[in-house]
Amino acid sequence: MVKAIQLIVYGLQVGSIYALLATGYTLVYGIIKMINLAHADFMMLGAFVSLFVYTALSGFGSPWWVVAVVIVATMIIVALLGGLVERIAYKPLRNRPTLSSLVAAVGVSMFIQNFLRCIPVVGPVPRAYPSLFTSANITIGGVTISAIQIVVIGVSFVLMLAMQLLVSKTSIGKQMIAASCDKDGSALMGINVNRIISITFCIGSGLAAICGILYSSVYPSIHVYMAATIGNKAFISAVLGGIGNTKGAVLGGLMLGMVEVLLQSFNSSVSYGASFVIMIIILLYKPAGLLGTAETEKV
């Protein structure tokens, strides 16, 4: 029984990271109807950028305000990088069929991973990630939860709530929803669609950066190719919950995390393949995902 609860806690922790990344995927898809396959690489970028910022500030030790500066600085830098990538690689392809954007995304992902691998500052060797948060453990009734796990789950939920608020209450959020519903209509209404798309990308990349920091805090060994598996799993969570729907992304992420941990504990050999099988099954019966609404395609 205790073991089951322990596994559930692990599942929640793994799942909230997937959920956070999936929210980023969903946001971008909702607006431009394009899956940014390179999203997970921004997460990896976030991990490395925060490593560098932290070492640059290493003279100050690690009180809470250094950690805050690291997080904020990383978010800003990666968000800017995301906007840059969007400007260079995705904007020229907006009027082309989505196949081209997919190929461009594959290209961007390849570029980021291998470029970082080649420059000596980063290199291909895995690096140790400093512990930004305390590593205390809390034991409740035989179940051990470490402080990092609580931080991860907490921060993810806070961010997801913030996204919900952003989308529903602020003006920018409403513009984002409008642009995702009808681009031309919103342009007629005076919304600068290009700017909104760039902002969405920046927000998505910023989310991915935070996700990178959290992920590296839990698994403190980072290297250039770490994003691939995580990216695929986050995408599967987004699809599970219904792409375009932020609540769905969260649900999908948590579900996938739990299922994965439980499967691993029973039989650890096929858990990676199992997540794909799950996605195929869900897509067969509910092609729009669990919380998604089936879109009728207008011709």
User: Do 247 and 240 contact (CB within 8 A), yes or no?
Assistant: no
Rounded to whole angstroms, the Cα distance separating 3 from 247 reads: 29
Interface with another protein, residue 234, by CB under 8 A: no
d(CA 105, CA 227): 14
Residues in contact with another protein, shown as a per-residue x/- string from 86 to 115 under the rule CB under 8 A: ---x--xx--x-xxx-xxx-xxx-xx-xxx
284 binds another protein (CB under 8 A): yes
Determine which helix (DSSP H) or strand (DSSP E) holds 146, and give its type and residue range: strand 143-146
- Please report whether residue 134 would count as binding another protein according to CB under 8 A: no
Smallest separation (angstroms) from another protein to the CB of 172: 25
Decide if residue 144 touches another protein (CB under 8 A).
yes
Q: Does 84 bind another protein (CB under 8 A)?
A: no
For the CB of residue 170, give the shortest distance to another protein in the complex, in Å.
Answer: 28
Q: Dihedral through CA 135, CA 140, CA 144, CA 146, nearest 10?
A: -20
Residue 297 lies near another protein (rule: CB under 8 A): yes
Nearer to another protein among residue 2 and residue 68 (C-beta): 2
Stretch of 60-68, 150-158, 170-178, 268-276 contacting another protein, by CB under 8 A: 268-276
CB distance 245 to 22 below 8 Å = no
| Residue 234: alpha-carbon gap to chain centroid | 7
Site string for another protein, 25-54 (x = CB under 8 A): ----x----xx-x-----------------
Q: What is the 3-state secondary structure (H, E, C) of 192-229?
A: CHHHHHHHHHHHHHHHHHHHHHHHHHHCCEECCCCHHH
Q: Please identify which residue in 220, 247, 259, 286 interacts with another protein, judged by CB under 8 A.
A: 220
Report the alpha-carbon distance of residue 83 to residue 101 in Å, rounded.
Answer: 16
One of 94, 127, 174, 247 touching another protein (CB under 8 A): 127
Which of 184/297 has CB closer to another protein?
A: 297
Write the CA distances from 197 to 34, 46, 175, 299, integer angstroms: 12, 21, 10, 24
- The answer to whether residues 251 and 290 touch, using CB atoms and an 8 Å cutoff, is yes
- The first and second tokens of residue 210, run together, are 């935070």
Q: What are phi and psi of 222, to 5 degrees?
A: -115, 145
- Least Cβ distance, residue 188 to another protein (angstroms): 26
Compute the distance between CA of residue 142 and CA of residue 133 in angstroms, rounded to an integer. Answer: 23
Between 73 and 239, whose beta carbon lies closer to another protein? 239
Strands (DSSP E) found in 24-119: none
| Total residue length of the chain | 299
Q: How far is the CB of 162 from another protein (least distance, A)?
A: 26
Point out which residues bind another protein (CB under 8 A).
3, 6-7, 10, 14, 29, 34-35, 37, 89, 92-93, 96, 98-100, 102-104, 106-108, 110-111, 113-115, 118, 123-128, 135, 137, 144, 146, 219-221, 223, 226, 228-229, 232, 235-236, 239, 261-262, 264-265, 268-273, 275-277, 279-280, 283-284, 287, 297, 299
